[in-house]
Chain A
Amino acid sequence: MAKSALLKSSLAKKYWMALTGLFLCLFLVGHLAGNLQLLTPDNALNFNKYALFMTTNPAVKVLSYLTYASIIFHAIDGAMLTYQNAKARPVKYAKNNAAANSAWSSRNMGVLGTVILVFIVTHMITFWAPMHFDKNMPLQTQTITMNGQPSEYYLTTDGSYLPKQQVDQKVIYIKNRTEFYNAQANVKIKEGYKDLYKITVAFFKDAKYGLVYTLLYVLSMAVLAFHLHHGFASAFQSLGANNPKYNGLIKGFGKGFAIIVPLLFAIIPLYLHFILKA
């Protein structure tokens, strides 16, 4: 009995929803810290360094698999809850004044969650997939002017610059998407940065759809804010943490979290689209 109690019962669904939800709140903070690199001076290198760290660090790898699992579990559990709960009232009320007793966000978590899931999938197709799989992902370069002669250089992970000319002349060739090899000796000499920054800026500055993408991103963050507005404090209640002594703190922190985190996420594409000079 105890086993099914922790997997199938109505309360088990609450526990898992809460645990995966809180883990995803932590993920949001980590992701936000990385994204904010887009607003720092020398943003391209900082952001690409972050992207490299996120795709290669072993600890991050473990966390990323936990994140994928949490998203999938949270979505499936949520879909099951929504389906079962709809079935629990086969005949609906002719008049239901739900606004008198509960918050709008708390009654629409399924819809809000679905929008967020669609956002996550498109977001991954746009940024995560090229970073992981695109063979033609550009590497970060910088134009340096010496003696009045501008020329392009690859930035490498050891902080040095590699003239792009050498690659064009096939003195150096690129292998495994990021590795620079000396053509004659056939040995790896340096490693470059995948230019996720370039892809990100190009996406939000797209001449035709940049504004649409920016607005859709901001809208998704508004939906996330409503989802967190109910979800954050709700997770604590589900895990049994309800005590008048600290309920105010949890609710207050949750409301702050629900506004500040999505707001900071939303500022970034707005900055890229409207303020950043191309």
Chain B
Amino acid sequence: MKLTLKIWRQKNAADKGQIVDYPIDGVSPDMSFLEMLDVLNEQLINRGEDPVAFDHDCREGICGMCSLFINGEAHGPDRGVTTCQLHMRMFKDGDTIFIEPFRAKAFPVIKDLVVDRSSFDRIQHAGGFISINTSGRTIDANTIPIPKHDADRAFDAATCIGCGACVASCKNSSAMLFVSAKVSQFALLPQGKVEATDRVLNMVNQMDAEGFGNCTNTGACEVECPKGISLENIARMNREYLSASIK
């Protein structure tokens, strides 16, 4: 496959940045998108140019590191996949592909396609946990009976890998799908109910402080989420927050 890549290049956080064209030849349809970028970078290095910086880690769709806004969609045109799981067979020979970083005020660009997503970490620190006594007399979690339906929904919410595709896809750069998944995975379980009130108030507070936009229910996040996190979680967070606010 022969492709034209239009890649966002930005030297550092202070640089203005711009789209740069890179023609690339000999791309196999079986390559993953990141492998295709590896090939490009090898060519750039051989030419003595600065390789394109992009985030990646596990390359099996579970770490949430790979990002990239490809042809106008987070993680590209495929559904339910991260960029490492996106294959070049989704594109046609001769295609022009735009590759941009996830854009949001709360996700500042560090270099090229790498963005700082530590705002997600700070939201998580604000309440995305349960306080447990680890003195050695910890009760086995399985001794608490939990309805299967609740456990399944909590698990579905917990499959969020915190990649930030929801923020990148949202026209408002809202982080509500991420935050609601983190709120839900605990709110649905008895262990999480103890701190539920403070958790939702603190996490939403932190989300607002980080400069994410407001949710207007366009539903783009749910469509682009590689893990299929449902809008039901945002509704649950809305309920949790409302009841926590009037307590």
Which residues does A use to contact B, with CB under 8 Å?
1-2, 5-6, 9-15, 81, 84-85, 87-98, 100-103, 106-107, 109, 230, 234, 237-244
List residues of chain A with CB within 8 A of the CB of B104. 88-89
Find B73's partner among A11, A87, A97 (CB 8 Å cutoff): A97
Which of B23-31, B46-54, B156-164, B231-239 faces chain A? B231-239
- A contact residues around B174 at 8 Å (CB): 10, 85, 88
A23 to chain B, nearest CB (A): 17
* Cross-chain contact of A242 among B103, B106, B212, B231 (Cβ < 8 A): B231
Is B105 interfacial (CB 8 A cutoff)? yes
- Interface residue from A2, A98, A238 paired with B220 (Cβ < 8 Å): A98
Stretch in B33-41, B127-135, B199-207 touching the partner: B199-207
A100 and B72 form a contact (CB under 8 A): yes
Residues of B within 8 A of A9 (CB): 204-205, 208, 241
Q: Which residues of the other chain, B, contact A241 by a CB distance below 8 angstroms?
A: 235
Q: Kindly state the separation between the CA atoms of A12 and B241 in the bound complex, as whole angstroms.
A: 9
Cβ contact within 8 Å between A234 and B217: yes
Residues of the A chain whose Cβ atoms lie less than 8 Å from the Cβ of B67: none
Residues of B within 8 A of A97 (CB): 71-73, 77
CB of B173 within 8 A of chain A? yes
User: Contact partner of B218 among A87, A102, A238, CB < 8 A?
Assistant: A102
Q: In the docked arrangement, what's the CA distance between A101 and B171, Å?
A: 11
The closest CB in chain B to the CB of A244 belongs to B232
Quick check: A85 and B241 within 8 Å, CB to CB?
Answer: no
User: Contact at A106–B72, with CB atoms within 8 Å?
Assistant: no
Q: Which residue of B is nearest A235, CB measured? A: B217
Given A10-B204, A244-B232, A100 and B77 contact (CB-CB distance below 8 Å)? yes
Chain A residues near B205 (CB-CB < 8 A)? 1, 5, 9
Closest residue on chain B to residue A233 by CB atoms: B217
Among B151-189, those with CB < 8 Å from A are: 169, 171-174, 176
Q: Which residues of B contact A85 (CB under 8 A)?
A: 171-174, 213-214, 216
Find out whether the CB atom of B73 lies under 8 angstroms from the CB atom of A103: no
Instruction: Flag whether B247 is at the interface (Cβ < 8 A).
Output: yes
CB of B148 to closest CB in A, whole Å: 17
Most buried by B among A5, A109, A234, A243: A5
Instruction: Report if A237-B235 is in contact (Cβ < 8 Å); known contacts: A101-B219, A107-B171.
Output: yes
B234 and A91 contacting across the interface, CB-CB below 8 Å = no
Establish whether residues A101 and B201, one from each chain, have CB atoms under 8 Å apart when the complex forms.
no
Q: Which residues of B contact A2 (CB under 8 A)?
A: 201, 244-247
Minimal beta-carbon separation of A225 from chain B (angstroms)? 18
Question: What CA separation (Å) do A88 and B174 show in the bound complex?
Answer: 8
